[in-house]
Amino acid sequence: MREVAIIGIGQTPVGEHWTTSLRHLAFEAARNALRDANVDKVDAIYVGNMLSGEITGQEHLGALVADFLGLSGVEALKIEAACASGSAAVRVGTMAVASGMADIVLAMGVEKMTDTSGRETTAALAMAADAEYEVSQGVSFVALNALLMRRYMYEYGWQHRDFANFAVNAHTNGMNNPNAMFRFPVTPEAYERSPIISSPVGLLDASPVCDGAAAVILAPAEYARTLSPAPVLIKGSAIATAPLAIHDRPDPLVLEAAVLSAQRAYKMAGITPADVDFFELHDAFAIMAALSLEAAGFAERGKGVQMALDGEITREGRLPISTMGGLKARGHPVGATGVYQIVEAALQLRGLAGENQLARARLGMTQNIGGSGATIITHILESLA
């Protein structure tokens, strides 16, 4: 198997882009990545996206993006795995290069969540859950996370305020990210006062509905150094699944797919959790951040929140997370999020994270979650510079 490296990255600011269409967002991120890689052609394009059909009335995004980039002719596909669609596209691109079917690949994610011409956004997002056995009961996606958070608090004795540092850390880091949607600080007091969306989930536990696109250019690692001054090796890449409906899982408080995908990625990379310098995790809701820390092996069961309380997740802590704002403050344009995570990890590994640059960033990990944990995709990235 050929090793695969990232030779270029690009992104758009995350926000409510009322005057920018899906194809323009995709174009901007892809163009930025192509320029960063200093290439103007690719062999294949894989576009992660969840909701273009429901929101924009447009499927067939592979051909659309290829066309709009002036690259018609190349292989192009859309990849979907709910909110994990972005890193799924990177995974497929990695397989394309690893197999030798392609040399230079554009893997990207794009999502336009505002300005829907179809289903209302909350209804569209619920399609990540089980339509017949969860959504038909009237539960929304936020409510599923609320059920998990309530159970976690009950089971382990945590209070809602104990989760505050996930939001505080994300907003602190988002302030210095020019592409973040929310660039203001949040205090523990503001967290406690924030309005309840679905008890016990408050507004500051939740990531926003927004638009954005992010992209990477992949190439064989064997000659990545000839193409880029600072390539990033995809040292580990793994997808795992769990039952779609939360009630079908043996233990709803264990993200089994995260356990599996992290273990597979560690094995592929030949590392242990202790080797990871920072972790771009899927903090779509505070409860998901806590569960991810536990499933990936950084905290014991029920102790993910303790890491936040102890300040271990800050840029100076044992395991910095959401170093550019995470889903909470950078924003969560669902099908693009996994690529934002990888782009941000690459920025850290290349020493380009600006005021948020970590002192030690040689090995970074990203983890992208689809649904309430049914698809979980882990990537382990290493600087080749």
Q: How many CA atoms lie within 13 A of 93 on its CB side?
A: 36
Query: Which one of residues 34, 218, 238, 308 is an interface residue with a copy of itself (CB under 8 A)?
Result: 238
In the set 17, 171, 332, 379, the catalytic residue is: 332
DSSP bridge pairs for 214: 11, 109
Assess 257 for contact with a copy of itself (CB under 8 A): yes
Which of residues 92 and 180 has its CB atom nearest to a copy of itself in the complex? Answer: 92
Which of residues 192 and 248 has its CB atom nearest to a copy of itself in the complex? Answer: 248
Stretch that binds a copy of itself, among 128-136, 154-162, 194-202, 340-348 (CB under 8 A): 128-136
Residue 332 bears catalytic tag: yes
Assess 60 for contact with a copy of itself (CB under 8 A): yes
Stretch that binds a copy of itself, among 54-62, 149-157, 189-197, 316-324 (CB under 8 A): 54-62
110 close to 49: Cβ distance less than 8 angstroms: yes
Assess 343 for contact with a copy of itself (CB under 8 A): no
Q: How many CA atoms lie within 13 A of 81 on its CB side?
A: 27
Which of residues 139 and 358 has its CB atom nearest to a copy of itself in the complex? Answer: 139
Distance CA 13, CA 331 (A): 9
Assess 131 for contact with a copy of itself (CB under 8 A): yes
Assess 30 for contact with a copy of itself (CB under 8 A): no
384 close to 232: Cβ distance less than 8 angstroms: yes
Which of residues 59 and 275 has its CB atom nearest to a copy of itself in the complex? Answer: 59
**Complete DSSP assignment for 288-317:** HHHHHHHHTTSS-TT-HHHHHHTTTTSTTS
346 close to 6: Cβ distance less than 8 angstroms: yes
User: Is the bond leading into 200 cis (omega within 30 degrees of zero)?
Assistant: yes
Assess 144 for contact with a copy of itself (CB under 8 A): no
The first and second tokens of residue 311, run together, are: 């300040």
**How many angstroms separate the Cα of 10 from the Cα of each of 2, 213, 271?**
24, 8, 28
State the amino acid at position 91 in one-letter form: R
Assess 327 for contact with a copy of itself (CB under 8 A): no
CB of 71 to a copy of itself, least distance (A): 8
Residue 160 bears catalytic tag: no
Q: How many CA atoms lie within 13 A of 361 on its CB side?
A: 25
Active-site residue set = 83, 332
Binding site for a copy of itself (CB under 8 A): 1-2, 21, 23, 44, 50-51, 53-54, 56-64, 66-67, 72-82, 88, 91-92, 95-96, 98-101, 118-119, 124, 126-132, 135, 237-244, 248, 256-257, 260, 370-371, 374-375
